[in-house]
């Protein structure tokens, strides 16, 4: 995110939902609708094509989703060194009242 902020040259504020508060997160509502859509229809999710077909036929708030299948394989187990993490942390402005949930990143 820090690199993205620098690329766009605009600040970004990250506001996280606390754990177990998915009811306030709009995207979680969409996943719930999808779950009801394919289970309520008796879907047998046997392969990717079937899943994408079912997902593309659902609606959420009157809208159909735009789907694409990513075949990118991401590396696992990558983490920053302590030194690199300190550099990232130096760019984060944490709200003292909610330091885990409210973070502002300013461009350089």
25-49 pLDDT, tens digit per residue, is 667 777 777 777 777 667 777 888 8
Give tens-digit pLDDT for 53-99.
Answer: 888 888 878 888 888 899 999 889 889 899 999 999 999 999 999 99
The dihedrals phi and psi of 104, each to the nearest 5 degrees, come to -110, 135
> Which residue shows structure tokens 């609606």?
59
Q: At 71, phi and psi to the nearest 5?
A: -105, 15
Residues 6+ apart with CB under 8 A from 15: 101, 102
User: What's the number of CA atoms in the CB half-sphere (13 Å) around residue 20?
Assistant: 0
Residue 105 has a CB neighbour count (10 Å cut-off) of 19
Rounded Cα–Cα distance for residues 56 and 34 (Å): 10
Verdict on whether the full-model pTM lies above 0.75? no
Paired residues of 60 in beta bridges: 63
């Amino acid at each position: 995110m820090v690199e993205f902020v620098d690329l766009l040259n605009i600040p970004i504020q990250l506001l996280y939902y606390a754990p177990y508060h998915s009811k306030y997160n709009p995207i979680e509502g969409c996943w719930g609708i999808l779950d009801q859509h394919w289970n309520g229809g008796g879907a047998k999710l046997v392969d990717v094509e079937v899943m994408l077909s079912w997902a593309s036929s659902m609606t959420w708030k009157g809208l159909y989703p735009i789907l694409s299948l990513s075949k990118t394989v991401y590396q696992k187990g990558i983490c920053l060194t302590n030194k690199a993490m300190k550099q990232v942390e130096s760019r984060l402005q944490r709200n003292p009242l909610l330091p885990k949930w409210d973070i502002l990143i300013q461009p350089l």
